[in-house]
């Protein structure tokens, strides 16, 4: 991708973020990612110029936040931006969580994140997947989570708020009702899928920032369209494999890697502030930045 640069976040703040961020969902998996690799990945990203780190209590049941807090110790806090999420409140031993989008749930979630991240403040707090439970929590988020985050933003406790989801439709409603600064949208604006175009344009008009996650659609645009390639966290269906093969034929014609095209395509949309891309080794961060 092009060189890492600092850009305005959007919304009602003066926050600046890098156009490339480290997503830490995979770093939370302690069974497959060692502490050594996790620390090296996070520190390596910082040393390469990444200044945006996105996490959530859900990622490894708090382990991703713990690893960020450990890896960034000793680095000036004002030199990077932390984004985390609310909506799933972990119990005391981090063995389970409950969905909670109430004011109390927001405050308890933030308190836990601050402790795990070893910091005294959060920059960005996102409402996490209010559509993920068997019960839809959209109204709970509008009645509880968003007003609480707005109060915290007004008090200067956090700098920005929004939502992080895999769907744009609910985020579009939040854009009109919840006074957000930024949305994290995963998997809905990629080489394989552009269903969110109208939503992105609306956010651009409103000055709301966009972080894009899932730019590889959970794997297929990074690994290529082989038979066991992953798409949206499952084996890619036949029609997606066929579409990915058509795209790869074009990128091959121009001697461009499919993963490289995927990153550049997603970042090129004028509404997009940053790409938030996961990695579990320093070499993966280096490869993404060099793409």
Q: How far apart are CA 34 and CA 282, in angstroms?
A: 13
Active-site amino acid positions: 54, 59, 85
- CB neighbours of residue 150 within 10 Å: 16
Quote the DSSP letter at residue 271.
T
**Sign, Cα dihedral of 77, 290, 62, 134:** positive
Exposed, middle or buried: residue 257 (CB in 10 Å: 0-12, 13-18, 19+)?
middle
- Is the separation of the CB atoms in 186 and 214 below 8 Å? yes
- Beta-bridged to residue 230, according to DSSP, are 235
Residue corresponding to tokens 């895999």 = 166
Q: What is the number of other CB atoms lying within 10 angstroms of the CB of residue 102?
A: 16
Q: Quote the CA–CA distance of 218 and 153 in Å, as a whole number.
A: 32
């Amino acid at each position: 991708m092009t060189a890492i640069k600092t850009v305005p976040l959007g919304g009602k703040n003066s926050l600046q973020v890098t156009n490339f961020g480290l997503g830490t969902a995979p770093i939370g998996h302690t069974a497959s990612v060692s502490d050594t690799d996790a620390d090296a990945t996070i520190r390596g990203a910082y040393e390469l110029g990444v200044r945006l780190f996105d996490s959530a209590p859900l990622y490894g049941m708090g382990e991703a936040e713990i690893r960020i807090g450990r890896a960034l110790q000793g680095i000036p806090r004002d030199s990077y931006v932390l984004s985390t999420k609310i909506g799933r409140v972990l119990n005391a031993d981090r063995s389970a969580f409950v969905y909670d989008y109430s004011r109390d749930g927001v405050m308890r979630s933030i308190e836990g994140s601050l402790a795990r991240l070893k910091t005294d403040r959060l920059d960005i707090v996102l409402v996490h997947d209010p559509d993920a439970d068997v019960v839809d929590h959209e109204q709970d988020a509008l009645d509880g989570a968003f007003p609480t985050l707005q109060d915290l933003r007004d008090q200067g406790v956090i700098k920005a708020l929004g939502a992080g989801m895999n769907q744009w439709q609910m985020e579009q409603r939040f854009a009109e009702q919840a006074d957000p600064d930024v949305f994290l949208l995963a998997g809905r604006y990629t080489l394989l899928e552009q269903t969110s175009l109208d939503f992105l344009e609306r956010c651009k008009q409103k000055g709301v920032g966009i972080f894009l996650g899932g730019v590889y659609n959970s794997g297929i645009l990074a690994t290529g369209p082989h038979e066991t390639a992953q798409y949206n966290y499952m084996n890619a269906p036949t029609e997606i494999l066929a579409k990915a093969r058509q795209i790869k034929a074009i990128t091959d014609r121009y001697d461009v890697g499919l993963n490289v095209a995927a990153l550049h395509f997603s970042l090129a949309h004028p509404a997009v502030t940053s790409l938030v891309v996961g990695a579990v080794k320093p070499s993966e961060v280096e490869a993404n930045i060099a793409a």
